[in-house]
Amino acid sequence: MTRKRYALVGTGSRARMYLKALTETHADVGELVALCDTNPVRLAYHSEQLQPATVATYPAADFEKMLDEQRPDCVIVTSIDVTHSDYICAALDRGLDVITEKPMTTTAERIGKIVDSVEKSSGTLTVTFNYRYSPRNSMVRKLIADGEIGTVTAVHFEWLLNTSHGADYFRRWHREKKNSGGLLVHKSTHHFDLANWWLGRSPESVYARGGLRYYGDENAAARGLEPRPALSRDTDPATDPFHFDLAANETNRRLYLEAEQADGYHRDQDVFAPGITIEDNLSLLVGYAGGANLSYNLTAHAPWEGYRVGFTGTAGRLEIEVVESSWVRPATTNVDPTANDDGEHADVRPKGARILLQKHWQQATEVEVQTSSGGHGGGDVILLDDLFREPREDALGRKAGYLDGIRSVLVGVAGNQSLETGLPVRLADHGFPLEEGPA
Ligand SMILES: NC(=O)c1ccc[n+]([C@@H]2O[C@H](COP(=O)([O-])OP(=O)(O)OC[C@H]3O[C@@H](n4cnc5c(N)ncnc54)[C@H](O)[C@@H]3O)[C@@H](O)[C@H]2O)c1
């Protein structure tokens, strides 16, 4: 069997999942032929990790040259969000297939360019929405699709990012909206995709409110914090819970610290340093075709991390609560190492997931979720099979196409528009296709 040829652009942290698949678990069906990035140090790091295999490397300016010389069948896009559409369109315009990381892109203008390229191309565009594959999220889809709570009339969805993972978005390139589209695009695209997929419906309208209320220099000054260094490595490790030492971790050191000299990008900008143009508190009201509405809230500075979703239907209610991380151990070196997790301070919010189903006139039941080995409860294997192996029947319809990419990212893009104007946005006004068939 001939193996499909893959080139990957954007050799940062996320690239690793695809590189591992193409050189190990899925090497029987796919061949990695080239890597491309703006940063030569990160390119060299990944090349070294792939040895003994040798893979051609190209600077980003030579992306087209890479396509000419290496003749991939498919391009995998794992570069920073704002660059996705350039690579997606360039590859589709040559008739190549594309697999892109979420978010598909960051603005309405860029969505328009992708739509034009998809419509003219013989290639396909797949957006990797890995959250669908987590067994608990798949179970929610199954329960709703099976009609367990009747027709869904309302969804209440809260996502909490903590002061570790959440803070990271305020340290990295994501902190500038021009790079990431802000959290409504970069992060919430996962959540909007889940909501769209769970409901099996398209979003129609969006109204958003939000702001930067915790991170950033102005909030720090308003709370009386002393001025801080520009980089988290330079804060006092004894007292600063946000201290971040890139050198302490081998991957961070090699991928980011040693790569700084090539492009000046710092992965550890201080969360209270100037220059943040994204929000850390966001709320949305989304109207769905068929009448359901979604109320959504995202916080990026919570003391624990996870999500809660409640679905109200004509036949009952379904609730999921997931605790991904129950508390954040501060980075300070003088903290009591047993604080909060010794026997005396047993955690009242243990890590884990709980799904409750309650039909009208009945007591609630807890739904068991089967997991298997491998990342994300076995979900990663199914995702990679969907990306790299022959198409297969999937009653849950987990593999996401470009319409799913639009449906999800357009909610975030419209949310940003609503934040700017203070007005609700009708998604149809953008004129992009949201369903199969003509727009
Ligand atoms: N699905 C998920 O759960 C998940 C998780 C993490 C990241 N991601 C996505 O993966 C992508 C990469 O994120 P990351 O965490 O690996 O970031 P990263 O900063 O580790 O890597 C980004 C890479 O893009 C490169 N780059 C920047 N500008 C470029 C350009 N013009 N051309 C080519 N390369 C360029 C950088 O040099 C860097 O190597 C993002 O789109 C992100 O949303 C998805």
Distance 13 CA to ligand 1 centre (A): 7
Distance 403 CA to ligand 1 centre (A): 22
Which atom number of ligand 1 is nearest to the Cα of residue 128? 1
Q: Are residues 304 and 354 in the same domain?
A: yes
Q: Are residues 198 and 240 in the same domain?
A: no
Q: What angle do CA 254, 103, 412 make, to 5 degrees?
A: 130
Q: Which of 8, 36, 79, 85 to mutate to test the pocket of ligand 1 (most atoms within 8 A of CB)?
A: 79
**Is 398 a member of any domain?**
yes
Domain end, chosen from 193, 228, 263, is at: 263
Q: Are residues 355 and 232 in the same domain?
A: no
Please check whether residue 163 is in contact with residue 169, taking contact to mean a CB–CB distance below 8 angstroms. no
**For the segment 254-277, what is each residue's pLDDT rounded down to a tens digit?**
999 999 999 999 999 999 999 999
pLDDT number for residue 439: 46
Sign of CA dihedral 438, 191, 256, 44: negative
Looking at 51-107, list the stretches that DSSP marks H as alpha helix, in order from N- to C-terminal side: 63-70, 84-93
Read off the CATH number of the domain in which 397 is found. 3.30.360.10
**Is 342 a member of any domain?**
yes
**Is 125 a member of any domain?**
no
Ligand 1 pocket: which residues have CB below 6 Å? 9-14, 37-39, 42, 60, 78-81, 83, 101-102, 128, 130, 186
Domain that holds residue 426: 131-214+276-430
Distance 175 CA to ligand 1 centre (A): 14
Query: What is the number of other CB atoms lying within 10 angstroms of the CB of residue 20?
Result: 15
**For the segment 5-32, what is each residue's pLDDT rounded down to a tens digit?**
999 999 999 999 999 999 999 999 999 9
Q: Are residues 203 and 235 in the same domain?
A: no
Is pLDDT above 70 for 365? yes
**Is 195 a member of any domain?**
yes
Q: Are residues 292 and 335 in the same domain?
A: yes
Task: Kindly indicate the confidence band of residue 375, based on its pLDDT and cuts at 50, 70 and 90.
Answer: confident
**Is 110 a member of any domain?**
no
Nearest of 82, 282, 86, 84 to residue 181 by alpha carbon: 82
pLDDT number for residue 407: 97
Percentage of the residues of the chain whose pLDDT score is greater than 70: 97
Is pLDDT above 90 for 114? yes
Question: Which residues are paired to 388 by β-bridges?
Answer: none
- Considering only CA atoms, which residue is closest to atom 30 of ligand 1? 38
Distance 102 CA to ligand 1 centre (A): 10
Burial class (CB within 10 angstroms; exposed 0-12, middle 13-18, buried 19+) of 237: middle
Nearest of 275, 36, 262, 95 to residue 178 by alpha carbon: 275
Q: Are residues 137 and 234 in the same domain?
A: no
Q: Are residues 304 and 416 in the same domain?
A: yes
Q: Are residues 323 and 341 in the same domain?
A: yes
Out of 50-54, 70-74, 144-148, 172-176, least confident range: 50-54
Average pLDDT over residues 376-388: 88
Q: Are residues 224 and 302 in the same domain?
A: no
pLDDT number for residue 336: 66
Nearest of 408, 398, 415 to residue 432 by alpha carbon: 408
Q: Are residues 158 and 294 in the same domain?
A: yes
DSSP conformation letters of 248-314: GSHHHIIIIITTHHHH---TTB-TTSS---S-SEEEEEEEETTS-EEEEEEEEEESSEEEEEEEEET
Q: Are residues 210 and 296 in the same domain?
A: yes
Task: Kindly indicate the confidence band of residue 377, based on its pLDDT and cuts at 50, 70 and 90.
Answer: confident
* Report field, pTM of the whole predicted structure over 0.85: yes
> How many independent structural domains does the chain possess?
2
Distance 7 CA to ligand 1 centre (A): 15
DSSP conformation letters of 3-54: PEEEEEE--SSTHHHHHHIIIIITTTTEEEEEEEES-HHHHHHHHHHHTTS-
Q: Are residues 241 and 345 in the same domain?
A: no
**Is 70 a member of any domain?**
no
